[in-house]
């Protein structure tokens, strides 16, 4: 993959150029590249490849289209700090068309889009923010006299890569909530082919940045799951890495907003947290460069499952989540490490014992859930209040 010493083969002038272009020291620059490599789950040494690509590769042209959305994805990108927005769009990528950020308007803006598409045919990255309304021939969303459907198909035809950013573009998001009068649809549905999706309302800007840098470094997009989501960001349930997970395992739950459990940071499962059925890296990455607690659960509100179709904007906020797994968090030490050998009688016996322990843990988890419910019911009975059937 490369050696970090390879960076210095760029020469002194290139290294000085890093400081001038990105406004950061060489040490900070290497840390930034290493962080991106770790975020994408790349092997040791990949930070060198990332560093050389950012410094020496041609900046990819990016055309960013807005359709049925609230501009929250762009607002999230505006708040990125490593690098800041101006460094991102001027030094790492070439943002040639973006209706919110560009100075041009009207015919000049449309001319800039067409010129960028022509000059970078087959090489530009197309980013879509927002759902595409398809009812009434797409008349619910028009830009420059063209429907969102036509613009999307025109721009996607010669794009090297198509990225749907945000839940609206990824799977329809909030605009597609029933009865969906405009026929809001995802990018993949309109194009009729898979695309890379970065869902979230809004998504973390570093998931987008890491995806683009992966394309810049390796000439291809990162590995994705069956929904088109980059695996480095969406391969694990929020529940598995949540800082409140230990309280869940111990059966400690907040029952109401502001109660003693809520104030002590107990698990928010019974308040409707959708972390057990939502795949995203929110608890490990955080938002706005304000610390790892700067995400909904860290701030005391249940996850609403915004990255998952059929969960976000579909399930009531306080409806209990469907448990997809009770696997231990990523940071927990593993009980057994694979050695690449066939199972012996002793290892098979140990595996059986571990399976029994896991079954016992499941029983204890169920018991803890039941005890919490029993405690809630007893408290309600003592106070003479009717039981809340919705949470039991």
Least confident segment among 9-18, 47-56, 103-112, 223-232: 9-18
Please check whether residues 370 and 386 belong to one and the same domain.
yes
pTM of this prediction? 0.71
pLDDT tens track for 63-93: 999 999 999 999 888 877 766 666 666 667 7
Please check whether residues 251 and 288 belong to one and the same domain.
yes
Please check whether residues 224 and 242 belong to one and the same domain.
no
Please check whether residues 243 and 228 belong to one and the same domain.
no
The residues, any chain, with a CB within 8 Å of residue 209's CB and separated by 6 or more, are 36, 80, 88, 92
The residues, any chain, with a CB within 8 Å of residue 202's CB and separated by 6 or more, are 72, 73, 75, 76, 166
pLDDT tens track for 328-377: 666 566 555 555 444 444 444 444 444 444 445 445 444 555 555 555 56
Please check whether residues 162 and 296 belong to one and the same domain.
no
Q: In 3-state terms, what secondary structure has residue 137?
A: helix
Please check whether residues 200 and 287 belong to one and the same domain.
no
Which backbone phi and psi does 164 adopt, to 5 degrees? -95, 115
Q: Tell me, what DSSP letter sits at residue 43? A: P
Please check whether residues 135 and 260 belong to one and the same domain.
no
- 17 found inside a domain: no
Range of the domain at 106: 57-232
CATH of residue 98 = 3.40.50.700
pLDDT tens track for 239-282: 999 999 999 999 999 999 999 999 999 999 999 999 999 999 99
- Domain stop point among 232, 258, 281: 232
- 27 found inside a domain: no
The residues, any chain, with a CB within 8 Å of residue 38's CB and separated by 6 or more, are none
Least confident segment among 13-17, 93-97, 106-110: 13-17
Q: Is the pLDDT score of 236 beyond 50?
A: yes
Please check whether residues 127 and 251 belong to one and the same domain.
no
CATH of residue 280 = 4.10.480.10
Residue 351: CB atoms within 10 Å: 13
- 72 found inside a domain: yes
Which backbone phi and psi does 139 adopt, to 5 degrees? -70, -5
Q: What whole-number distance in Å separates Cα of residue 353 and Cα of residue 332?
A: 19
> Confidence band (pLDDT; 50, 70, 90) for 291?
low
Please check whether residues 253 and 162 belong to one and the same domain.
no
pLDDT of res. 389: 45
Q: In 3-state terms, what secondary structure has residue 128?
A: strand
pLDDT of res. 209: 83
Q: Is the pLDDT score of 57 beyond 70?
A: no
Q: Is the preceding omega at residue 250 within 30 degrees of 0, hence cis? A: no
Which backbone phi and psi does 105 adopt, to 5 degrees? -145, 165
- 242 found inside a domain: yes
10 burial level (CB within 10 Å; 0-12, 13-18, 19+): middle
Domain count, the chain: 2
Strand partners, 61: 94
- Domain stop point among 190, 205, 232: 232
Please check whether residues 150 and 293 belong to one and the same domain.
no
- 274 found inside a domain: yes
- 228 found inside a domain: yes
pLDDT of res. 215: 84
Please check whether residues 228 and 244 belong to one and the same domain.
no
pLDDT of res. 4: 40
Please check whether residues 254 and 227 belong to one and the same domain.
no
Tokens found for residue 39:
């975020």
CA distances from 43 to 183, 202, 333 (A): 42, 28, 20
CA distances from 301 to 21, 83, 244, 261, 280 (A): 39, 28, 12, 13, 16
Q: What whole-number distance in Å separates Cα of residue 294 and Cα of residue 124?
A: 33
- Domain stop point among 232, 264, 291: 232
pLDDT of res. 235: 92
- 3 found inside a domain: no
Pair 160, 122: CB distance under 8 Å: yes
- 33 found inside a domain: no
């Amino acid at each position: 993959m490369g050696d970090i010493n390879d960076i210095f083969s760029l020469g002194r002038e290139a290294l000085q150029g890093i400081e001038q272009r990105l406004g950061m020291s060489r040490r900070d620059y290497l840390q930034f590249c290493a962080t991106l490599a770790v975020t994408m789950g790349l092997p040791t040494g990949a930070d060198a490849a990332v560093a050389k690509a950012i410094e020496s590769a041609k900046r990819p042209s990016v055309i960013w289209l807005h359709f049925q959305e609230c501009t929250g994805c762009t607002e999230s990108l505006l708040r990125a700090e490593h690098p800041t927005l101006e460094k991102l769009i001027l030094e790492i990528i070439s943002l040639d068309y973006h209706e919110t950020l560009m100075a041009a308007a009207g015919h000049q803006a449309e001319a800039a889009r067409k010129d960028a598409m022509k000059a970078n045919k087959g090489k530009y990255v197309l980013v879509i923010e927002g759902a595409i309304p398809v009812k009434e021939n797409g008349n619910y969303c028009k830009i420059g006299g063209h429907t969102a459907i036509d613009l999307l198909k025109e721009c996607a035809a010669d794009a090297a890569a198509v990225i749907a950013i945000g839940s609206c573009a990824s799977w329809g998001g909030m605009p597609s909530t029933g009865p969906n009068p405009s026929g809001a649809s995802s990018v993949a549905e309109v194009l009729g082919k898979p695309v890379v999706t970065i869902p979230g309302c809004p998504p973390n800007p570093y998931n987008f940045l890491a995806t683009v840098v992966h394309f810049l470094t390796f000439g291809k997009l990162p590995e994705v799951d069956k929904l088109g989501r980059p695996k480095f960001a969406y391969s694990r349930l929020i529940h598995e890495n949540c800082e409140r997970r230990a309280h869940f395992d111990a059966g400690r739950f907040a029952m109401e907003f502001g109660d003693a459990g809520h104030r002590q940071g107990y698990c928010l499962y019974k308040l409707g947290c959708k972390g057990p059925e939502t795949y995203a890296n929110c608890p490990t990455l955080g938002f706005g460069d304000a610390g790892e607690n700067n995400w909904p659960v860290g701030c005391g509100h249940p996850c609403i499952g915004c990255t998952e179709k059929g969960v976000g904007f579909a399930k009531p906020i306080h409806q209990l989540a469907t448990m997809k797994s009770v696997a231990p968090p990523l940071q927990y030490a593993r009980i057994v490490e694979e050695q690449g050998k066939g199972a012996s009688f002793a290892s098979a016996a140990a595996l059986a014992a571990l399976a029994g322990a896991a079954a016992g843990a499941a029983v204890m988890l169920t018991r803890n859930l039941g005890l919490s419910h029993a405690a809630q019911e007893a408290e309600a009975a003592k106070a003479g209040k009717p039981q809340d059937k919705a949470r039991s």
